[in-house]
Structure 1
Amino acid sequence: MASVTADKTLDTSGLNCPLPVLKTKKAIEELQSGQILEVISTDPGSKADIPAFCNRTGHELVETVEEGGKYIFYIKKK
């Protein structure tokens, strides 16, 4: 269970690369600076893709949770 409270949740379950990252990019643009986006993914590739996206864009990957075949990322908008 995550210790972070998200301002918005994006469920990309069932989608494969590069869709989770593309949808994450679009969703984070709708947030205010400092708000947190929760991204739920079932694509194992997102374990590398989401942190790479954060590094590239400057958003902060606050927490990553792996449970029941899902990868849950908490990203704080810069």
Structure 2
Amino acid sequence: MNDLYEEYDVILDAREDRCPMPLLKTKMALSKMTIGQRLCVMASDSGSLKDIPQYVTLVGLSLLSVQEDNAVYTFVIQKS
């Protein structure tokens, strides 16, 4: 987990949250970030796989990566 803290500016662990909380927490985290910072979101709710990329596209942010590992979805978003 230490490597994550060095690689990203903000890490959001929403693995225990159900829809719509992962998306709402992602929005709140992004609102506090500055341009150029990177957010790593971890979520286990399958709705996040659709909701978070759609939101990122809608507001014009950069979705750098989406990964799935053992039903945990990891999104890396750069605020632009």
Question: Given the two structures, how large is their TM-score scaled by the length of structure 1?
Answer: 0.90
Q: Match of 1:64, SS? A: strand
- Specify every segment of 5 or more residues in structure 2 that has no aligned partner in the other structure, as ranges: 1-6
Tell me by how many angstroms 1:6 deviates.
1.2
Number of corresponding residues: 75
Segments of 4+ moved more than 3 angstroms = none
* Structure 1 spans left out of the alignment, 5+ residues: none
TM-score by length of 2: 0.88
Cα deviation digits, residues 2-31 of structure 1 (max 9, x gap): xxx211100011211111110000001111
Specify which structure has the bigger relative contact order, considering alpha-carbon pairs within 8 angstroms and separated by 6 or more residues: 1
The answer as to 2:59 corresponding to 1:39 is no
Residue in 2 that maps onto 1:51: 53
- 1:36 Cα offset (Å): 0.4
Q: Counterpart of 1:14 in 2: which secondary structure?
A: coil
Counterpart in the other structure of 2:3: none
Query: What fraction of aligned residue pairs are identical, expressed as a percent?
Result: 38
Matched, 1:69 2:71: yes
Map 1:5-24 → 2, pairs under 5 A = 5-24=7-26
